[in-house]
């Protein structure tokens, strides 16, 4: 029998709610992505496929990190799962 208290359930519900709000904010930013940011995202994805990721000081990198489609690892831009899904959805829509 689980020993989950009411306070623990409330805490977990608050955590889930916070995660949902954060994801909604990221998706709202993605809805307003500009053409230049989209080009930068495609360039970062292509560079990652070639095995030579772009440096973190490339244009629009901070905006794309804030959107959640890229992350910075060891000074290089890495495509996130959300970024891969977003590019796949764009490819399907075209």
pLDDT reported for residue 2: 63
pLDDT reported for residue 14: 93
CB 6 within 8 A of CB 34: no
Residue 53 has φ and ψ, to the nearest 5°, of -60, 150
pLDDT reported for residue 17: 97
Q: What is the mean pLDDT of each run of 10 residues along the chain (94 residues)?
A: 74 94 88 90 89 83 89 89 89 82
pLDDT reported for residue 21: 95
CB 41 within 8 A of CB 83: yes
């Amino acid at each position: 029998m689980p020993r989950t208290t009411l306070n623990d359930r409330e805490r977990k519900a608050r955590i889930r709610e916070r995660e949902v709000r954060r994801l909604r904010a990221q998706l709202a930013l993605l809805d307003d992505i500009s053409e230049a940011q989209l080009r930068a995202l495609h360039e970062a994805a292509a560079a990652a496929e070639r095995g030579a990721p772009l440096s973190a000081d490339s244009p629009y990198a901070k905006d794309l990190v804030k959107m959640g489609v890229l992350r910075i690892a060891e000074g290089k831009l890495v495509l996130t799962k959300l970024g891969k899904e977003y590019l796949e959805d764009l490819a399907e829509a075209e």
